[in-house]
Each structure stands twice: as C-alpha cells, then as structure tokens.
Amino acid sequence: MATEENNLMEKIVSLCKRRGFIFQGSEIYGGLAGTYDYGPLGAELAYNIKDLWWKRFVRKRRDMFGISSSTIMPEKVWKASGHLSHFTDPLVECLKCKKRFRADHLKDKKCPACGGEFGSEKTFNLMFPIETGSTTGETTLAYLRGELAQGMFTNFKNILDTFHPKLPFGIAQVGRAYRNEISPRDFIYRVREFEIAEFEYFIREADWEKYFEYWRKEMWGWLSDIGIRKEKVKENDLGPEDRAHYSKRTIDFEYDGPIGDMEIQAVAYRTDYDLKNHIEGSGQDLSFRDETTNEKFVPHVIEPTFGIGRTLLAVLLEAYTEDELGGEPRTYLKFLPRIAPIKAAVFPLLKNKPELVKRASEVFEALSQEIPQVVFDDNGNIGKRYRRQDEIGTPFCITIDFETLEKDTVTLRDRDSGNQVRIDIAAIASEIKKHL
C-alpha cells in the first residue's frame, strides 16, 4: 500500500512537470529547495481555486472586507505578534556532512544522509529577515511575512475608520507568505514560499464558540465546492502543546494523502491576542465602539485559513484517475469543470484541411468570448489530442468535421465517459455553462 501511495505522488509530480502544471523553482540553475513555479496550467488551476474562494467568502457576503496587504512588514509587527519569540522549529546539524534537519522529524539519532552524529539541538526562527533602505547604516530591519493575519490586524483600524462595520465582520485576503523551512519536502506540500487564503472574523468574546462552529461547517462546504470528498478529510482538534502561541482552540482539516495526513486548512480561535499586542506595540487604539450602545472593547477573532498550494495538491490527488477507454489504458484528471484549468478544447478533425481549420478557428474565437479558458488544438491526430486533453483534465472537447461545414453541428465529447454527442454550434456555450 505504501508503495502504491508513493507511486501516486511520483505520478503526480511527473504529470505536473510533463504537462506544464508545476516546475521546480530556478530549475536551470539546479533548483532552489522549497520553491516551485506554477506553469500555465498550474497557474490557471490556482487562479480558479482562489477565484471560487473569493466569490464564496468575500464577494457573496455583506460582512466581509477584502484587502491586499504588503508582504514586507517592520520588525515591530512581528515582535508584537509573538512570531520573533514563538515562530521556531528545533534544529540539528550533522557534524559530518553539515546538513540540517528538524529534530522532531527524525526517527533516529543518526543523520539520514550520511549516518553521522548530530550536534546539539538549537532553536531556529522561521522568519525571513530583510534590510530595507539604500545605504549602509541607514537600513531598517523588516521581515517577509510569515502569515497573512498580521496584515488584517494592522489594517483593522483602517477598515473601522473607512467602512464603519458592525460586529461580526471579517477582513480577508489571498496572498503569499514565507517560512524558512529547515527541511522543505513532499513536493509543494512543505515549501518556503506559499499562498494562503484567510480571513480574520471579529466577534464578541461571548460568541466565539457559536462562530467557531459556524465557520467549521462552512469550511466543509468549501471542500465540496472544489471536489474534495469528505470521506478523505478528517478533523484534528489540536491539543494545547500543538496549537500556535496565539490560539485557544484550533482544528486542522487533514486530507488522507500519499504522504500521510496532509493539513490543507484550519480554523483557529485567536482570542484578542493580536489586537491587544498591537495596541501595546503601536500605541494606537484598536478597540471597537458599538455605535448603538456606545460600548467600547477589543474584539476576539475566529480565523479560517486555507492553504492554496496544499489545496491544489489535494485537488490533483483527488482528480488523478487511471482507467481503460476503447480498450486502451488512460490517465486523466477528473476535475470538477468549475476548477479545471481548461474548460474546453476545440479541434479541427484534420489539420491539413484549411476549410476545417478555418471553421474551427471561428468556433474557438466565438466560444472564448463566452467561456474563459478555452484552447485551440490541432497538434497530432484526434486520438492523441483527446488523450492529451484528458490528462490535463479538460472536461469537453469539440471537434469540427466535414458535417460541421454542411449542418453547423459539432461533436461534443465528455472527458469522463468518452461519449460524444452531436450538437448545434449555437448551443455549445450554453451546454458547457450548465456544468460550470
């Protein structure tokens, strides 16, 4: 079983490289550990996930305010948030080969690379420090953000002053964060640069359990939106020793993947820890005033967090399918159409027939005005095109043949079943939209 699971991860990594989903970062220079670049299909898939998330949790809600904060923040922010003192991992270094490892990830006391002895355990901070400024002696220490949350907290007062929201309300954003992982591993699961979708939901302290439960249920709904089966995910209610320094309660949502339990999203009760610390650190009043009762207090916070890269990996693992079609083995990605990087591919039956290529181009141009993420493909024979589109998860293939020239109909092929139906050109867009 373990071998099958390892093979699945290897197949996913190979497919992602071969078909343009994900590449190793800085690959032509030998790569940089813990960094990955998303190719054309990976970028589209990630954008689809982020767009669906933004629509569900921000645009469709009256109580959510979306922002995009800077990825560089001054040292004072991270000192106030506790990250400079708490955001650490246990580090050991091999005395022989000098490679570094997380002490809590080692199964024995010998170096897994060379068998050498380890030096004493040290505490390693995961934050990326940078110097801002142009000349020596005039620099200021800052950090690449280790999480998105602090951007929401430092903008809390701005949202109060400009939009005057009523409790409860949330501040949301999607963006990159950086953690100097000692030993990045497992493809895009544990990396040094990653994307998160997250919001801080501000509430009265007395309501924290109600809203914690509300958002826990909403997060299960999100998994269904993107095609992750509920039976593949479990909740892990973390004990005090496993929770972050700011959390009074945290539930991790863990996907049953080939590398074990994969944390893909979490919901945490951060109390009023952050706002109170930023009041002390900045000297600014970050309390909330109820305009009806004139009551003034520091709100508490529920924080749902969604890892974009980890969610994308889980979506790929869920979608990866091997079967037989027409008596031949086939590999395809069974994406929900709404998140598939390519929604439909348009083919001329034969690429050496100008009349078919011309009509196929016209169909492609018209369809792409109504449905985003449509491609034109005339590379290789029709069978190879079907297999290629199956492997990247394209739900529909549209073939223009000689009957098209006579009757203005095309064949519409379904990815999962391989079945084809004849359909009027004018009905293509509406038929595909039914599934998006």
Instruction: Report helix, strand or coil for 351.
Output: coil
Ordered DSSP codes for 185-238: BTTTTB-SEEEEEEEEEEE-GGGHHHHHHHHHHHHHHHHHHTT--GGGEEEEE-
pLDDT-based confidence at 277, cuts 50/70/90? Answer: very high
CATH code assigned to 342-433: 3.40.50.800
pLDDT over 80 (residue 1): no
Strand partners, 375: 345
Residue-wise pLDDT tens digits, 344-384:
999 999 999 999 999 999 999 999 999 989 999 999 999 99
Residue-wise pLDDT tens digits, 160-200:
999 999 999 999 999 999 999 888 889 999 999 999 999 99
Q: Flag the least confident range among 123-132, 265-274, 276-285, 346-355.
A: 123-132
- CA separation for the pair 291, 288 (Å, rounded): 9
Mean pLDDT (the chain, rounded): 94
Q: What is the mean pLDDT of residues 112-132?
A: 90
Residues near 285 by beta carbon (within 8 Å), at least 6 away in sequence? 157, 279
Instruction: Give the architecture (CATH level 2) of 2-82+128-316.
Output: 2-Layer Sandwich (3.30)
Q: Give yes or no for a contact between 197 and 53, defined as CB atoms under 8 angstroms apart.
A: yes
Domain boundaries of the chain, sorted by first residue: 2-82+128-316, 88-125, 342-433
Residue-wise pLDDT tens digits, 72-93:
999 999 999 999 988 888 889 9
pLDDT-based confidence at 267, cuts 50/70/90? Answer: very high
- CA separation for the pair 397, 344 (Å, rounded): 6
pLDDT over 70 (residue 120): yes
Read off the tokens for 105. 């990830």
- CA separation for the pair 211, 327 (Å, rounded): 52
Identical fold, 2-82+128-316 and 342-433: no
